[in-house]
A and B are shown apart, each in its own frame.
Chain A
Amino acid sequence: MIQPHGGQLIDRVLKGAALDEALKKAASLPSIPLDAEQTSDVENIATGVFSPLEGFLGEKDFRSVLDKMRLANGLAWTIPVILAVDRKTADGLAAGADVALLNPAGEPAAILHLAEKYGFDKAETARKVFGTDDTAHPGVAKIMSLPDVLLGGSIDLIRETPTPFQKYKLTPRETRRLFQDKGWSTVVGFQTRNTPHIGHEYVQKSALTLVDGLFINPVIGKKKKGDYRDDVILSSYEELIKNYYVPERTTMAILMMEMRYAGPREAIFHAIIRKNFGCSHIIIGRDHAGVGSYYAPFAAQEIFADFPDLEITPLFFRSFFYCKKCGAVVSDKICPHGKDHQIQFRGTEIRDMLVRGEYPPAELVRPEVAKIIMDEKNPFND
């Protein structure tokens, strides 16, 4: 099985006596409240999803990630995983001290071993990570709204924060064990934030012909207004898998993480995460992790040329459509017929049909999936 990024899965989940001690200690430490997304970042660090990170980036790594898309040690890393606090909070914390990180319920979730505090240029960060400082971009808006000081240091997890989707929440240790148990030595990961249409199914099944197993890994967490609700995404995939996939060859687990919409940089980040889960391959489609028209349609594929040392193998897919003459899902590479015969998989059009209460044609969406979505009064994020 593929090695974790950096060679070793990080495990910073406290257990036994160390956990008891940390719980006692946390009550008397200065504390920082985390939102749901930051809490997910902490868990992802602690359970190895973000291996080799052991905490929030220090300044040297932060600068290196911005400038070189690599950690200071040269290992590929494209998205800064940071913890920002306001100046007043930062002034009250001493480098070298421990800080309790509180989950949204106000409970101690982790201890931060604060190593350093540093300032950062938000506009520069936005331009380097997102390729723009346009605040209409959701990732840019988030960066620009952050407080001014970044805290760097390793963390230790005290408490996992439960989700409504607990049965789909697996750590990399667990997915690796699962893949091993299934006898899969090669696994393709599929990142998604949408309900599936036939084009997605085609891509997943095409990729599966090359490897032993398919790992469907929906991103659960904060997304844009109008994106499908997390529970709707999971239910629609459950239905699709039940009716149309070989169970011995397919599995699904969630990734609790905020979408950054950083396009190419995020594609590399997503690949690293799937590598940590044990995937040997990852599907990268058109405009992966993009938003609006900020990125060229295939920029998220082209960036992989800069990372020949990534080890996980990207499988690039172009745009697909249903050709009425072929009677199948095809691409311009394999279909000789013209546009008159094509039905495009346009997410917005499919969404509009569903909103109007119309079943999309079976060439676009499986009827079982459409039913799941249409049975919901509002399947989208407000």
Chain B
Amino acid sequence: MKKEFTAVSIPTSLYKEIEEAIRGTADPSVPNYVARVLRESLKKTGSQEDVFSPEDEEKVKDRLKALGYID
């Protein structure tokens, strides 16, 4: 199966540091960790446009309340 990824180089010392840091955590691999952290970083820069209006948000909240999921 052809894999469609691209390589990003990081210093070997950093790779090893990450490898050590994620041992015993929920991150299964360095690439997974790196992808997750980069995504989180992109999110913080506001890359995603929210398609939902404040009215929609309010409806969501009301439904969750009505179903007893939140107080």
CB pair B31 A177 closer than 8 Å: no
- Return the CB mask of B1-36 against A: 1 if under 8 Å, else 0: 111110000000000000000000111110110011
* Chain A residue contacts of B45, Cβ below 8 A: none
A311 touches B35 (CB 8 A): yes
Neighbour of A306 across the interface among B1, B43, B47, CB < 8 A: B1
| Assembly CA distance A3 to B36 (angstroms) | 10
Collect the chain B residues with CB atoms within 8 Å of residue A315's CB: 26
Q: How far is the CA of A311 from the CA of B48 in the complex (A)?
A: 16
Q: How far is the CA of A211 from the CA of B32 in the complex (A)?
A: 17
**A-side contacts of B67, CB under 8 Å:** 167, 170
Q: Are A313 and B32 in contact, with the CB atoms below 8 A?
A: yes
- Report A-chain residues with C-beta under 8 Å of the C-beta of B63: 174
B-facing residues in A144-193 (Cβ within 8 Å): 167, 170-171, 173-174, 177-178, 181-182, 186
Please, which residues of chain B bring their CB within 8 A of the CB of A186? Answer: 26
A263-310: which residues lie under 8 A (CB-CB) from chain B?
281, 304, 306, 308-310
Would you call A342 an interface residue if the criterion is a C-beta within 8 Å of the partner chain's C-beta atoms? no
B-chain residues with CB within 8 Å of residue A3 when the two chains form the complex: 39, 43, 48
Q: Does A338 sit within 8 A of B, measured CB to CB?
A: no
Query: Are B4's CB and A68's CB within 8 A?
Result: yes
**The residue from A2, A68, A74, A308 contacting B31, defined by CB atoms under 8 A apart:** A308
CB neighbours (8 Å) of B68 from chain A are 167
**In the complex, which of the residues B1, B61, B64, B70 contacts A68, with contact meaning CB atoms closer than 8 Å?**
B1
Are the CB atoms of A306 and B70 closer together than 8 Å? Answer: no
Most A CB within 10 A of own CB, among B25, B26, B27, B57 = B26
Q: What's the least CB distance linking A363 to chain B, in Å?
A: 28
A239 contacts partner chain B, Cβ-Cβ < 8 Å: no
Contact check, B60 vs A174: say whether CB atoms are below 8 A apart: yes
Which residues from chain A contact B29 at a C-beta distance below 8 Å? Answer: 308
Most B CB atoms within 10 A — which of A211, A251, A313, A315? A313
Cβ 8 A contact of A70, one of B4, B25, B60, B64: B4
Q: Does A92 contact B (CB under 8 A)?
A: no
Question: Which residues of A are found within 8 Å of B39, using beta-carbon distances?
Answer: 2-3, 311
Q: Is the CB of B27 within 8 A of A177?
A: no
Residues of A within 8 A of B35 (CB): 308-309, 311
Other than the known A9-B52, A170-B67, what 18 A-B pairs have Cβ atoms closer than 8 Å? A3-B48, A7-B47, A68-B2, A170-B64, A171-B60, A174-B60, A177-B57, A177-B60, A186-B26, A210-B26, A308-B5, A308-B29, A308-B32, A308-B35, A309-B5, A311-B35, A314-B28, A315-B26
A-B contact pairs, 23 of them (CB 8 A): A3-B43, A7-B47, A8-B51, A9-B51, A68-B2, A68-B4, A167-B68, A174-B60, A177-B60, A178-B69, A178-B70, A182-B70, A211-B26, A251-B69, A306-B1, A306-B3, A308-B5, A308-B29, A310-B32, A311-B39, A313-B26, A313-B36, A315-B26
